[in-house]
Amino acid sequence: MKKRVLTGLQPTGVITLGNYIGAIKQMIEFQEEYDSYIFIADMHAITINQDPIELRNNIKSLVALYMACGIDFNKNTIYIQSDNPYIANISWMLECNTYYGELSRMTQFKDKSKKNANFTSGLLTYPVLMAADILAMDTDYVPVGIDQKQHVELARDIAIRYNKKYGETFKIPEPIIKSTGTKIMDLQYPDKKMSKSSENQKGVIRLLDDLNVVRKKIMSATTDSEMVVKFDTVNKPGISNLINIYSSLTNKSIKEVESEFKDSNYGNFKTKVADVVVDVLSDIQNKYNEIINGDKIDEILDHGMLKNIEISKVFYEKMKKSIGLGRK
Ligand code: TYM
């Protein structure tokens, strides 16, 4: 039987080049070989305040973007997290088997709760919902960027603990993190992750950005004064980030990229990086415009929803029974 791979992205605004390289591109590579699931994590999105109309528009737009990026709906099950009522129920049963201490130690929770004193309890329990997404789908592998690694590891801990307490129920999932592109950094502040929520949009490339603007963002990326295209994240975070982007999009190794540009100045190097990024994005944008105006999306999501429900319902029933909920 094929191994199962699963990942999700939040529909909060247009996804970034970081999301594409860290998660979607990996899924495209895996779809040939694995039983693949990719979903829209809309329930995760509401852990912080969202405008309802914008959120709903972003959901379909993200499905169209998945497909425009190369997620093949014949090889992947694509669904919306909130279309399946079992996930939140499973999440609750898992929450009652997860410790407050574990959740409050998560790096993302610590960062985000520091930024806003009025954070919701959903921000704290967010990784358990993620564990429910993963475990209730009998997942083997979870391709993510490095920022989500800790959450996948927590899902493993929760599964192991649950299996010990209630008997063999869940598979123990493994995060898949590539050697390059696991954390694309902000172009202006290369010590920070490229993030949708960044205040300065000059450092963030979104997949639907105007291509001239994309070029400008890359050309004005922060570098250093050394003028050597060399991978060194400590002393040359800006250049290393551009090398990382170039390497991920061309499938060349870091060493190959360094040697390709050993005689280049930063201007030439940035132009080449911009060419590659613009090429990839222009292709995605053309496809996106066709898909978003087509009528296939609802059919794909209905199919995905049914499959997601069918698999998770079995876990839901089994959990209820082992935990002692409901009637005999
Ligand atoms: P989200 O929406 O924040 O990010 C989606 C994916 O993109 C990766 N990523 C990056 N990779 C490289 N460089 C970056 N700058 C960068 N920024 C983001 C993330 O690591 C992630 O893989 N909680 C998840 C969504 C989720 C999920 C799941 C994922 C919900 N349930 C179950 C896997 C399995 C999230 O908020 O991702």
Would the CB of 45 count as within 6 Å of ligand 1?
A: no
User: What is the model's pLDDT at position 122?
Assistant: 97
**CA distance linking residue 193 with residue 108, whole number of Å:** 12
Task: Tell me which residue has its CA closest to atom 7 in ligand 1.
Answer: 19
Which residues touch 191 (CB under 8 Å, ≥6 apart)? 185, 237
Which tokens belong to 1?
Answer: 């039987």
What mean pLDDT comes out for the span 252-263?
97
Give counts: helices (H), strands (E), the chain. Answer: 14, 5
pLDDT tens readout for residues 81-112: 999 999 999 999 999 999 999 999 999 999 99
Fold type of domain 4-182+295-323: Rossmann fold (3.40.50)
**Mean pLDDT (whole number) for 282-293:** 96
| Ligand 1 pocket member 81 (CB < 6 A) | no
Indicate whether residue 180 lines ligand 1 (CB < 6 A): no
Residue range 138-179, pLDDT digits in tens:
999 999 999 999 999 999 999 999 999 999 999 999 999 987
Question: Which ligand 1 atom is at minimum distance from the Cα of 196?
Answer: 17
Q: Which atom of ligand 1 is nearest to the CA of 149?
A: 20
> Which residue's alpha carbon is nearest to atom 37 within ligand 1?
9
Indicate which residue's Cα is closest to atom 18 of ligand 1: 19
Whole-number average pLDDT of the chain: 96
Q: How confident is the model at residue 282 (pLDDT cuts 50, 70, 90)?
A: very high
CB of 184 shorter than 6 A to ligand 1: yes
Question: Strand ranges (DSSP E) for the chain?
Answer: 4-9, 35-40, 76-80, 141-143, 174-176
Residue 181, pLDDT above cutoff 80: no
Rounded to an integer, what distance in angstroms lies between the CA atom of residue 283 and that of residue 211?
Answer: 11
pLDDT band at 117 (very low <50, low <70, confident <90, very high): confident
**Burial zone of 277 (CB within 10 Å; 0-12 exposed, 13-18 middle, 19+ buried):** buried
Tokens coding 184: 């694309």
> What pLDDT, on a 0 to 100 scale, did the predictor assign at position 328?
81
Q: 63-94 burial, b for 16+ CB within 10 Å, e for fewer?
A: bbbbbbbbbebeebbbbbbbbbebbebbbebb
Question: Where is pLDDT greater, at 284 or 198?
Answer: 284
Question: Tell me, what's the pLDDT at 182?
Answer: 84
Task: Give yes or no for residue 43 CB within 6 A of ligand 1.
Answer: no
- Tokens standing for 229? 């295209």
Mean pLDDT of the region 120-131: 97
The structure tokens listed for 122 are 């959903």
Q: What is the pLDDT of residues 203-222, one digit of tens each?
A: 999 999 999 999 999 999 99
Looking at the predicted structure, is the pLDDT value of residue 180 above 80? Answer: no
304 CA distance to ligand 1 centroid (A)? 20
- Of 43, 87, 147, 196, the residue with max ligand 1 atoms within 8 A of its CB, to mutate for a pocket test, comes to 147
Hey, where are the domains in the chain? 4-182+295-323, 201-289
Q: At which residue do the structure tokens 């002692």 appear?
A: 324
CATH code linked to domain 201-289? 1.10.240.10
21 Cβ closer than 6 Å to some ligand 1 atom:
yes
Across residues 16-20, what is the average pLDDT?
A: 97
Q: Whose CA is nearest to atom 4 of ligand 1?
A: 9
Locate tokens 């694995």: which residue?
34
pLDDT in tens, 220-240: 999 999 999 999 999 999 999
What is Dmax (Cα atoms) for the chain? 74
Classify residue 209 as exposed, middle or buried by CB count within 10 Å of its CB (0-12, 13-18, 19+): buried
Q: Which residues are tagged catalytic?
A: 112, 193, 196
Regarding the beta carbon of 187 and ligand 1, being less than 6 Å apart is answered no
User: Ligand 1 within 6 A of 193 CB?
Assistant: yes
CA of 167 to the centre of ligand 1 (A): 30
For the CA atoms of 97, 99, 103, 106, the dihedral, rounded to the nearest 10 degrees, stands at -110
pLDDT of residue 197: 86
| pLDDT recorded at residue 208 | 97
pTM over 0.85: yes
